[in-house]
Amino acid sequence: MNEVHDQLSELDKRIVVALQPNGRASWRTVAEAVGASTATVARRGQQLLAEGVVKVAVVPVLAAGGPYSAFWVRINCAPGESMKVAEQLAGSPDVRFCAVVAGEYDIVAEIVLRGDASTYPRLLQDLQSLPGVQRWRSDYTLHVYKVSFDWGRQLFGQEPSTGHVAPTPDEPEECSPQHLDGVDQQIVAALQTDGRETFQRIADDLDLNESSVRRRYERLRANGCLDVLTLVQSAALGMGAETLVQVTVDPGRLEAVAAELAGFPFVRYLALMLDENSLLCELIMPNSRDLRGFMTGPLSRMRGVRGWSASMELVFLKRGFVETPWWRTQTGLVDT
C-alpha cells in the first residue's frame, strides 16, 4: 500500500478526485466528471475501493451528538513505541484524527469530548497512561475556519470548494441530536462502515422500504447532519508533503491571517487554538519544494505572522473518526 501511488493511472487519480466532493456520487456522475465511460469508471472505482486505496464513509457532524469540546494533543513516545501508542489511540472512540509524524513530537491526535472541557481530565487519565507515552501536550480548539474535502482538485488545475466550516459549540447549529432518531442512527452506522452501500441493501437489513431509507438520508444531508468522507493517502495522488503547521500570530491579526490562509487550496484544515495565539493548519502539497516555497514565501510575508512549528505526517491512522484501511499495510503491521 505504501507504493500504491506508483500504481495509480491518471484515470485512477481523476476518479479519486471526483469522489472527494461526494463519495456517494454515482459512477455515471463520476464518469461525466473524468471524461470516461461509465463501465470503465465503475470497474476502476470499485477496484480502488476493494483494494483499500480509497475508503468512503458517511459520518454524523459533531453537532449531531450534542455539545462537544475538541482538543489537539501532541505526544512523545518511548523509542520504538510510536506505532503501538498510535494504534491504541486510533482505537479510542473519542479520537477523531490520529497521525504518526516527524518533528518535535511523535504523534498528533484530535480528541473530541461530549459536554464541556471539564470532562477532559477523566479521559486524560486513561489515555496518558498508555504504555509508551512519555510526554503529552494538549491544546483546546477555539474555532474551526475550514475543512476541505476536495483538496485533490488542485492537481488538475481546478479550484477546490471553500470547504466545510465546522461550527464551534457556542454557535447556532442546524443539526442537533433531535434530528436523528434510532432508525436514522442505524442508517448512519451502516454508511459509516461502507459509505457507498446501497439504500436497498440497508433497507433490507433494517426491514424498511428503500424509499424510506433514501428520504431519511436526504433529510439528514439537507439538515447538515452528515459529512461524506472520501479517505485517500495523499501520496496515492502524488502529493508527498502532508504537513501540520502551527502558526503563531499577533493577537490583533488572527482573523485576518486565518482568512488569508483559508484561501489557499492546499490548506485542508484550519483552526484557532487557545495556546500561543496560534492557528493550526494542515497542508497537502505535491512535494517539499512546494512546501518550502509556501513557508518562505507567502506565509513568511503575511502581516502578523510571528513564526511557526511544523510536523510532517508520516502515517495517518484515523480521520473523521474513521480508521484508514491502509495504515497497517503501510507500516507492515498486517494481521497474518
Q: What does the pLDDT look like over 59-79, one tens digit per residue? A: 999 989 888 889 999 999 999
Is residue 19 within 8 A of residue 12, CB to CB? The reply is no
Report the C-alpha gap between 88 and 86 in whole angstroms: 5
What pLDDT band is residue 84 in, cutting at 50, 70 and 90?
A: very high
Write the CA distances from 252 to 67, 94, 146, 249, 255, integer angstroms.
29, 33, 20, 8, 8
Is residue 141 within 8 A of residue 62, CB to CB? The reply is no
C-alpha cell at 324: 484508514
Does the model's pTM come out above 0.95? no
Give me the pLDDT at residue 336, please. 37
C-alpha cell at 81: 513505541
Report the C-alpha gap between 269 and 256 in whole angstroms: 16
* Domains observed in the chain: 4-56 (1.10.10.10), 181-224 (1.10.10.10)
Give me the pLDDT at residue 5, please. 46
C-alpha cell at 201: 441493501
Contacts of 139 (CB under 8 A, 6+ apart): 71, 72, 73, 74, 273, 274, 275, 278, 280
pLDDT tens, residue by residue, 141-185 = 999 999 988 888 888 876 666 555 544 444 445 788 889 999 999
Give me the pLDDT at residue 173, please. 53
The candidate with the shortest Cα–Cα distance to 287, out of 239, 216, 229, is: 239
